[in-house]
Structure 1
Amino acid sequence: MPILNSQIALVVGAATGIGAAVARRLAREGAAVVACGWPRPEGPHSLACDVTQDGQVQATVAEVLRRHGRIDILVNAAGVIAKDSAATIVDAVWDRQHDINLKGTLRVMRAVLPAMQAQGRGSIVNIASVAAFNAGADSASYAASKAAVVALTRSAAQSYAPQGIRVNALCPGWVDTPMAAAEMTEMAAEQGITEAEARERTVARIGLGRMASADEIAGACLFLCGPDASFVTGIALVVDGGSRVAAGARAV
């Protein structure tokens, strides 16, 4: 029997990449998935939702509750990335990353939590990043936003555990998605190398010697959503192929 049989799952940021893979995986495991994002994901039951607009977030959650009467699982996967360092951060770029990565996560949680509290159960997974713990020199605002997502997750886990609501963060490393492909293009242009060389240099810093697939990250998300993680809350699960281990080995 599918492990999420008949559960209602809202996946935000499901238009592409990790969010799309999560939506597919949860559906295969029996969940009734409402995929939402900006632009609207493909599929007859999907919804358009810009997480920077609180009114749209509230309307999206209300529509899911109208259709299904409850929300058992929430996955927050909306996110953007830009390169900068502390001395070069532009306020508008900092604000956009925090508005989507952090405040977008907060807006959706804030809209969904009352329904989960009324149900007396629920599972929330916020997609953060290994950058929350291992920030790159050129990822200041992105890493700061993802570290804040981890802190928000841990605070919410403490607040809502007595009501049967689990809240966890998933922290991927490099994942072979359109976002990563765009970063390879940017890296190649900056360093005067080919995109293939940029990818080669990137995976050389990963213990397993490759990027993850979005489906592999979706598998980790499924674990956090599902019954095998019924006693797991407040964690930040790192799925990075050993990149932090490899970084430590190089530093010795």
Structure 2
Amino acid sequence: MRRRLQGRRALVAGAATGIGRATAELFAREGADLVLFGLGGAALDDAAAATGGRAVHGDVTLAADIGAAIAACDGRLEILVNAAGLIVPDRPASVDDAVWERTLRVNLTGAMMTCRAALPLLARAGGAVVNIASVAAFNASPDSASYAASKAGLVAYTRSLAYAHGGDGIRANAVAPGWVRTPMSEMEMDLAAAAAGTDRDAAFAALAGRIALGRIAMPAEIAACCLFLASDEASFVTGAVLVADGGGRAPTQNRAV
């Protein structure tokens, strides 16, 4: 059986860990030729070795580094996944300017700059863009001022990209995950556990109790959403946001707990 991404080149930004790493691994199994871009040092090299891809070490906020990643695509690109991101918990009344600017720079501006640089190759191929947003774009917590703003901006940018370049054959969509077991979420749970006097597993368990499916997602489950949006199975899907939160926003009786 033909693999769904056979013969296609995919650039995955933020591929060293978490959702980006899981997406690279799944895309490789589906036949994609990979360029893996971002920070991560040895972790990015390990991801490249595991997937047969090429590692391009660099910062998604720097035009020269993005240019190196595009150059590594050797003039052809069918799929772009923007999975690079960071979170620093903060509240509206005490947002640190440097944290705000860095968060938006990585989560929003970096994705925009990578998309912008990739557009000529994507237009040539009639390619697909998948941006990793977050349900925080729609239901931000009090402690996610910078992060939620960056992800809401990414949703809006993705829709603008879809409508501006649909005529070029480019599809652009976003995935909005809820809680996923990644190094970033583990950091957040460590902070929550410290405040509550518990541990990471207890913090995750309490969180799972507020989700309809009763559990935290694994990165591979979000990678599967990316695969759908990048593949021909989503050939008429553009400007969409695929929410994958396990029903985390649905059970209102649990949200007060």
Alignment TM class, shorter chain as reference = over 0.9
Matched, 1:95 2:101: yes
> 1:249 Cα shift?
6.3
Following superposition of structure 1 onto structure 2, how do residues 3-42 of structure 1 map, counting pairs within 5 Å?
Answer: 3-40=4-41, 41=44, 42=46
Structure 1 moving runs of 4+ over 6 Å = none
Mapped contact 2:56–2:68 kept (Cα < 8 A): no
Q: 1:124-177: per-residue Cα shift (whole Å, max 9, x none)?
A: 000000100111111111000000000000000000001100000000000011
- Alignment equivalent of 1:105, drawn from 98, 107, 111: 111
Aligned to 2:182: 177
Look up the SS of the partner of 2:205 in the other structure.
Answer: helix
Mapped contact 2:212–2:251 kept (Cα < 8 A): yes
What stretches of structure 1 of length at least 5 have no aligned partner? none
CA distance in 2, matches of 1:57, 1:231: 29
Aligned to 2:84: 78
Look up the SS of the partner of 1:46 in the other structure.
Answer: strand
Aligned to 2:229: 224
> 1:120 Cα shift?
5.0
Paired residues, number: 247
Following superposition of structure 1 onto structure 2, how do residues 27-176 of structure 1 map, counting pairs within 5 Å?
Answer: 27-40=28-41, 41=44, 42=46, 43-44=48-49, 45-64=54-73, 66=74, 69-117=75-123, 119-176=124-181
Over the aligned positions, Cα root-mean-square deviation in angstroms equals 1.3
CA distance in 1, matches of 2:154, 2:31: 28
CA distance in 2, matches of 1:59, 1:177: 27
Q: Which amino acid aligns with 1:53?
A: L
Q: Which amino acid aligns with 1:48?
A: H
> 1:116 Cα shift?
1.7
Look up the SS of the partner of 2:77 in the other structure.
Answer: coil
CA distance in 2, matches of 1:83, 1:101: 14
> 1:196 Cα shift?
2.3
> 1:60 Cα shift?
1.4
CA distance in 2, matches of 1:92, 1:37: 21
Q: 1:64-118: per-residue Cα shift (whole Å, max 9, x none)?
A: 1x2xx3100000000000111110110011011001000110110011002222x
CA distance in 2, matches of 1:37, 1:248: 40
**Structure 1 residues 248, 57: closer, same or farther in 2, change over 3 A?**
farther
CA distance in 2, matches of 1:246, 1:52: 37
Mapped contact 2:204–2:216 kept (Cα < 8 A): no
Q: Which amino acid aligns with 1:98?
A: L
CA distance in 2, matches of 1:246, 1:18: 25
CA distance in 2, matches of 1:220, 1:121: 20
Provide the TM-score with structure 1 as the length reference. Answer: 0.95
Return 199-208 or 104-113, whichever deviates more.
199-208
> 1:34 Cα shift?
1.1
Mapped contact 2:35–2:69 kept (Cα < 8 A): no
CA distance in 1, matches of 2:129, 2:30: 17
> 1:192 Cα shift?
2.1
Mapped contact 2:28–2:34 kept (Cα < 8 A): yes
Following superposition of structure 1 onto structure 2, how do residues 225-244 of structure 1 map, counting pairs within 5 Å?
Answer: 225-244=230-249
Q: Which amino acid aligns with 1:218?
A: A
Look up the SS of the partner of 2:94 in the other structure.
Answer: coil
> 1:46 Cα shift?
1.3
